[in-house]
Amino acid sequence: MLDDLKGVDIAVLDLEASNKWQVVCEHLRCAPPACSFPEVADIGQRQLVRNNTEVEETPCCQTPKRDKSPWVVEPRRRWQGIHCVPAEGGPAIAATPVGVSDCLGFLDSRYWLPRDDTFTDNLALFRPSNIEFRPGLGAALSVRREALGVREYGAAALTSRDKYLYGRFEAIIRASNVPGVVTGFFLHRDSPRQEIDIEIAGNRPDRLLVNVFYNPGGEGAKFDYGYRGAASFVDLGFDASESAHLFAIEWGPCEIRWSVDNLLVHRRVDWQPTPIPHLPMALHVNTWPCRSNELAGRLASRQLPSTTFVTSIVLEANRYQSPLFT
């Protein structure tokens, strides 16, 4: 291990240091943030997985430009993250194992909330009226032209009422193929921002974008840096807009695994290239027109309306709290 660190620029952070941000920021040669250094419970020294020769192979992926962030490790030869042994006893945060299986024939308000908001990169306003529940078929999420004042388009999104900490999350989805429209299935939280993504861009429905955003601290910590996070593109080998496929995220304390039709397509361990998100997150499925041509191509507004079909959502996870919104 020490041989691998030769020539690497590292800093040692003393837990008793009075100004930990000064140590970190001087090492990174950046200005200190306005907020205080995140203080979290010490998890102790983690046991490492050694001589791991049975790692499942995954398809080759492309790595786009990443953030210049303290929480993203720069690509480095031979660096494959930190393979940790999961701690015994389950998550430190109080959570209850639950299972949800919903064929989305109707809006089950025990589990889901339709969104009615937006965000900066979204050219549309999420509207509950753009979700149509069809018994036996699932939910149809649409993007269409609508003069809504704050936006010129309407879109659709469902969010879980509960937050979850670790588990398996899967959905059967037929994505949109309209350039500029994004189909998303992901976990997300704010304060601090953490996120695990599956996204399919309408201009490339034969490709999967997987992404992780990480910021440190406990509940309420104001760390929300990062724009692109740590994305990777995975070639699917088929057009996800032509038929429905099973997409899944398996999120554990030491590893994240993405699979399609029960085949592993991508995996990450701790610090490969980010830490693993460690706080409860809500589950989302949505479709929306993107402001970024780089992500999804220029919006082909003449091809609207566009519809994403979600046949079912199934999860086995640790429920943290309910409801998500008060």
What CATH number does the domain containing 204 carry? 2.60.120.200
Q: How far is CA 102 from CA 11, 212, 317, in A?
A: 48, 26, 14
The confidence score (pLDDT) of residue 90 equals: 63
Nearest Cα neighbor of 212 from 160, 261, 159, 258 is 258
Least confident of 86-90, 259-263, 304-308, 313-317: 86-90
User: Between these two residues, 86 and 265, which has the higher pLDDT value?
Assistant: 265
Q: At 55, is the pLDDT very low, low, confident or very high (cuts 50, 70, 90)?
A: low
In the 8-state DSSP scheme, what is residue 3?
Answer: G
Least confident of 27-41, 217-231, 296-310: 27-41
Q: Looking up tokens 């983690």, which residue turns up?
A: 46
Give the largest CA-CA distance in the chain. Answer: 61
Is the pLDDT at 325 greater than 50, yes or no?
Answer: no
* 301: phi then psi, degrees, rounded to nearest 5: -60, -25
250 within a domain of the structure (yes/no): yes
20 within a domain of the structure (yes/no): no
Single-letter amino acid, residue 260 = V
In the 8-state DSSP scheme, what is residue 137?
Answer: T
As a whole number of angstroms, the distance between CA 178 and CA 307 comes to 9
Is the pLDDT at 326 greater than 50, yes or no?
Answer: no
For residues 251, 255, 259 and 264, what is the CA-based torsion angle, rounded to 10 degrees? -160
4 within a domain of the structure (yes/no): no
As a whole number of angstroms, the distance between CA 154 and CA 157 comes to 10
34 within a domain of the structure (yes/no): no
pLDDT per residue over 187-201, tens digit each?
A: 999 999 999 999 999
The confidence score (pLDDT) of residue 301 equals: 96
pLDDT per residue over 120-130, tens digit each?
A: 999 999 999 99
Instruction: Taking residues 91-100, report their average pLDDT.
Output: 85
285 within a domain of the structure (yes/no): yes
Rounded mean pLDDT of the chain? 90
pLDDT per residue over 238-290, tens digit each?
A: 999 999 999 999 999 999 999 999 999 999 999 999 999 999 999 999 999 99
As a whole number of angstroms, the distance between CA 192 and CA 216 comes to 7
142 within a domain of the structure (yes/no): yes
210 within a domain of the structure (yes/no): yes
Q: How far is CA 304 from CA 158, 170, 192, 244, 261, in A?
A: 20, 27, 35, 20, 28
22 within a domain of the structure (yes/no): no
Instruction: Taking residues 288-315, report their average pLDDT.
Output: 97
* 180: phi then psi, degrees, rounded to nearest 5: 95, -15
How many structural domains does the chain have?
Answer: 1
Q: At 89, is the pLDDT very low, low, confident or very high (cuts 50, 70, 90)?
A: low
Nearest Cα neighbor of 297 from 218, 175, 201, 217 is 201
Beta bridge mates, 266: 258
Is the pLDDT at 52 greater than 60, yes or no?
Answer: no
What is the span of the domain harbouring residue 94? Answer: 61-321
